[in-house]
Structure formats: structure tokens, C-alpha cells
Amino acid sequence: MRTVIQRVSTAAVTINGDEKSAIGTGFLVLVGIETIDTQEDAEWLCKKIVQLRVFPDEAGLMNKDILETKGDILIISQFTLHAAYKKGNRPSFIRAARPEQAIPLYEYFIAKMTELLGKPVSTGTFGADMKVALVNDGPVTIIMDTQNKE
């Protein structure tokens, strides 16, 4: 699994002109699921994300995690995170998991994140054409990939 985590002051996802979800301070998490990914990968990522200390403390240093700040999380599925681009100019998405494999793992990721955060997370809709708006705070953007756990 590959994620792009952005610390945001606000983020929202719109589908067909209707706002599906919106959050204030927290994380926008774009998640791509690969054919080799497992529930263990989802668990590892969720734990790392909720413990990620990138929110400012009283001195303005990045020392607090999302639990300490009581922030929100917006999770958006994005298969294009697994684009292969070395050959030619049209990306290949052969490594991205097909919906029958990806949807259950995406739903597991959401459930695990909800459990660890201690409150519901916001989401987009898997496979939908979504418009995502955000204000990246910092900017702080971190990429995590379960293929690079060490």
C-alpha cells in the first residue's frame, strides 16, 4: 500500500457536484492498493499515520500526533499512486489491485483507522470521479509505502 499524507487545515471531496465529506485540521490520506497488499500492510500504515508527529506543539515544533490534536482524517482511494511510468509516456496501472481485491482492503483500512483514531474518518467513494480540495498546512506532505517499512 502506498499513501500520500498531507497535513491540512481543511479538505473536502466532491462527487458529481455534491460534497461527500469535509474535514478541518487533520490529514488528507490518499491511499493506493497494490496486488501484493494485505491487511497487515493496512494495519502497519494506520498505526504509523496516527502516531505521525507532524502537528505543532506549544513551541511550534512538529511534536504532536493527530490523537493529541484531536484532528480529523479524510481517506481517498487513488489507484494512480501505483502508476508505472518508466516505459513510454502513458502510465500503466498493472500493479494496482483490481476492485474485487482493493475494495475489501480499502474498507479494512478505513475501519482500522477509525478504530485507532477513536472516531469516524471521512472518505470519498471508491472508484468515483472525485474532486478533492485542500489547504495543505505547512506544507507537510509525507509518502509512506509498505514496501519500504525499514
DSSP alpha helices (H): ranges in 1-150? 39-50, 66-69, 99-117
Please identify which of the residues 38, 39, 51, 80 carries the catalytic annotation. Answer: 80
Note whether 6 and 35 are within 8 A (CB): no
126 is catalytic: no
Is 51 a catalytic site residue?
no
The CB density around residue 133, as the number of other CB atoms within 10 Å, is: 13
**Active-site residue identified among 27, 55, 79, 109:** 79
Q: List the catalytic residue out of 3, 6, 55, 78.
A: 78
Q: Which helix (H) or strand (E) holds 10?
A: strand 2-15
Phi and psi for 65 in degrees, rounded to 5? -95, 180
78 as an active site residue: the answer is: yes
Grid coordinates 490518499 are at which residue? 30
State the catalytic residues: 78-80
